[in-house]
Amino acid sequence: MSPAYVAIIDSGGANIASLLYALKRLNTKATLTTDAAVISAADRVILPGVGAARDAMTRLRDGHLIDVIRQLTQPVLGICLGMQLLVDASEEEDVECLGIIPGTAKKLPGNTSCPVPNMGWCPITRIAEHAVLSELGDGTYFYFLHSYAVPTSQHTVATAQHANPFSAVVSHENFVAAQFHPERSSVAGEQLLRNFIGLRQ
Amino acid sequence: MKGVKFRDHRVVGGIIDLAQRYCAEGADELVFYDITASPDGRSVDRSWVDRVAAVIDIPFCVAGGIRGVSDAEEVLNKGADKISINTPALERPQLINELVRRFGSQCVVLGVDSREDDDQYHVYQNTGDPDKTAAAERMTVEWIREAQDRGVGEIVLNCMNQDGVRAGFDNKQLGIVRDNSYVPLIASGGAGAMSHFLDTFQSANVDGALAASVFHGAEINIADLKRYLIDNAVDIRPVS
C-alpha cells in the first residue's frame, strides 16, 4: 500500500466511522476535515455522504468548499450521496450539486418487487475500463443503500440493476464515484478502496 | 442474545467474536438487538458499537431503546449503518418521521413483533421482557402501512408464534405483509433448517431472512446456507 494521505470531506452526514475504519484496515492515514488547505493538499480525497443532498450542499457551501472540490486534481472518490453531490443536480428536493460529473440523480422507481430504498447487495456490470475496478469483474456484489441514483451515461463505468439499470460507478477526469458503500462491501469493497488509494495521479 | 419465544434469554457469547465469525462465513448483514432496553426504560449500551464497526466490513444495524434523534445519531456516528426501532415507535409514531428527516429512510428500520390471535395479526411491544410484553392495540398490517407512510425504509417482521420454535418462517403472515409493503421486508422468527430459508424466499418473496439461534449454535453454517440457496436459484451474494 502506498503511503497516500486521504482527506475525507465532512459533509455532515452520519456514518463516517465505518469509512475511517475501512481505511485504517488498509493502513492508510485518513482524516475527516472541512479544512480547504488539508483537502487540497491530500494525496486522495473522499466525498462520502449519508443523508439528504440539500443539507450536504448547504454545508459544503457554508464551508466555502464548492470551488475547492471543483479544482481538485488528485484522485477523488464520491461514495453514495457523495456520488450524487458530484453530478449536476439531484431530484431530491431539486438541489443543484457540484456539477463536476455530468448527470442528474433521480429517484428510483419502486414497486413491491423492487422496493425503495434499494438496500442490499447487488452485482455490478462493467461497461468501461477504470483502474478503480481492477480485479473486480462483472457480477461482483457491492452493498447499496439509496433512494436516488444517477442514470447511465457516457460517464458510467459500471451499472447495477434495480427496476432499471443505473450507474453504480461513474468517472470523469480525476473524479470517480460509487453509488454503493465500499466500506461495507466486504472483500470487494476493500479491493476497490485499495485500487483507489493506488490510482496513478 | 437469543431467546425462545421471547422467554429465557441467555447470553450467547462475545459479540465481537461472533460478528467476525459471521463476516467470515459470508453473512450479508448483522443486526444487534439490546432486547431488554425498552422494557427496562433505558437506551442501548453503545460502548460495543464502535468496536464492532472497527472489525467488520459488512453493514450492521443496531436496535434497542432508540427513543430520539440523539440516540440514533450516537449509534450511527459510532459506525452502525442503520438503526431499528420498535417499542419507542409504537409509543410515539412521530419518532419515525423525525429519524427519517434527519438520516433518510435508508437508515431507519422498523422492527415489528407480530402474533396471530384468532386469525388476526396483532402487534406486541416490550417483547424483550415476558412480564412487560403487551399487545400494542394495533393490527399488524395497519401499523406497517402507517410506518411506511411515515418514511420507514425497511421492515423486519418478527413472527412471534414462530420465534425460537424452529418450525420455519411464518410465510403466510409474511406474504400478507409483503403485499402491503413497498420497502424491503426481512423475515424473522422460526428458522430451524436451511430449507426454511429457501421456503421463505420462494413463497413469501421477502428481501432477506434473519436468524439467530441456528447460527449462534453453529447448527447452520452461513457459507453452507448460501451455497444451498444459490444452488436453488435464490439471487444472493455468493460466498467469496
> B9 vs A122, which has greater pLDDT?
A122
Instruction: Report CB contact under 8 Å: A121, B237.
Output: yes
Number of helices followed by number of strands (H, E) in chain B: 10, 11
* Nearest CA-CA distance, residue A9 and chain B, Å: 15
- The reported pLDDT for the residue numbered B43 is 52
On the question of pLDDT at A200 being above 60, the answer is: yes
pLDDT tens digits, A58-87: 999 999 999 999 999 999 999 999 999 999
Pairwise CA distance, residues B188 & B127, whole Å: 14
Q: Which of A15, A54, A187 to mutate to test the interface with B (most CBs of B within 10 A)?
A: A15
In whole numbers, what is the pLDDT of chain B averaged over residues?
A: 87
The answer to whether the CB of A192 falls within 8 A of the CB of A132 is yes
* Residues of chain A found within 8 Å of residue B207, distances taken between Cβ atoms: 115, 119-120
Choose, out of A16, A18, A148, the residue to mutate when testing the contact with B (most B CBs < 10 Å).
A18
Phi, psi of B76 (to 5 degrees): -70, -40
* pLDDT tens digits, A156-188: 999 999 999 999 999 999 999 999 999 999 999
What are the beta bridge partners of residue B210?
A: B188
Q: Does B70 touch chain A (CB under 8 A)?
A: no
For residue A118, the cross-strand partners are A146
Give the residue carrying C-alpha cell 475501512: A22
> How confident is the model over B169-174, as a mean pLDDT?
96
pLDDT attached to residue B215 = 92
Provide the pLDDT for residue A2: 54
Q: Contacts of residue B184 in chain A, CB cutoff 8 Å?
A: 115, 117, 119-120
B106 secondary structure, DSSP code: G
Residue given cell 437508515 in the structure block:
B107
Report the range of poorest mean pLDDT among A18-27, B58-67, B126-135: B126-135
| Cβ–Cβ < 8 Å for B58, B31 | no
Contact B139, B121 (CB under 8 A): yes
User: What pLDDT, on the 0 to 100 scale, is given for residue B10?
Assistant: 43
Q: Is B24 on the interface with A (CB under 8 A)?
A: no
> Which chain A residues touch B58 with a CB distance below 8 Å?
143, 184-186
pLDDT at B145: 97
pLDDT in tens, A24-66: 999 999 999 999 999 999 999 999 977 778 888 999 999 999 9
**Whether pLDDT at B61 is above 70:** yes
CA distance B73 to chain A (A): 7
Pairing type for strands A29-33 and A44-47 reads unpaired
Please write the tens of the pLDDT for every residue from B198-208. Answer: 999 999 999 99
Catalytic residue positions of A?
80, 181, 183
**Which CATH number does the domain housing residue A110 bear?**
3.40.50.880
Give the residue ranges of DSSP H helices in B60-139. 69-77, 87-91, 94-103
* Per-residue exposure over B160-189, b if at least 16 CB sit within 10 Å of its own CB, e if not: bbbbbebebbbbebbebbbeebebbbbbbb
CA A39 centroid distance within chain: 16
Residue A44's pLDDT is 97
Q: How many CB atoms lie within 10 A of CB B140?
A: 24
Q: Chain B partners of A147 at a C-beta cutoff of 8 Å? A: 104-106, 153
At residue B132, the pLDDT reads 81
pTM for the whole thing? Answer: 0.90
Quote the pLDDT of residue B37. Answer: 57
pLDDT band at B47 (very low <50, low <70, confident <90, very high): confident
Residue B15 predicted with pLDDT over 90: no
For B207, which of A51, A115, A187 is closest by C-beta distance?
A115
Distance (Å, whole) CA A60 – CA A57: 5
Q: Does residue B81 belong to the interface with chain A, where contact is any CB pair within 8 Å?
A: yes
Q: For residue range B214-230, list pLDDT tens digits in order.
A: 998 889 999 999 999 99
Nine-digit cell string for A160 = 447495477
The arithmetic mean of pLDDT across residues B68-89, rounded, is 92
ipTM of the complex: 0.87
Position B2 confidence tier, pLDDT thresholds 50, 70, 90: very low
Q: Is the pLDDT of residue B36 over 80?
A: no
Q: Does the N-terminal peptide bond of residue A117 adopt cis geometry, omega within 30 degrees of 0?
A: yes
Q: Where does the pLDDT of residue B136 fall: very low under 50, low under 70, confident under 90, or very high at 90 and above? A: confident
Among candidate residues A144, A165, A139, the one with its CA nearest the CA of residue A153: A165
Query: For chain A, what is the domain count?
Result: 1
Extract the C-alpha cell encoding A69. 472540490
Per-residue model confidence as pLDDT tens digits over A146-155? 999 999 999 9
Q: Average pLDDT, whole number, for chain A? A: 93
- The answer on pLDDT for B5 being more than 80 is no
Residues 6+ apart with CB under 8 A from A177: A47, A77, A78, A79, A82, A83, A86, A101, A169, A170, A171
Domain membership of residue A80 as a residue range: 5-197
C-alpha cell, A52: 439528504
Average of per-residue pLDDT across B183-187: 95
pLDDT tier at A4 (50, 70, 90 boundaries)?
confident
Asked if A120 lies within 8 A of B105 by C-beta distance, the reply is: no
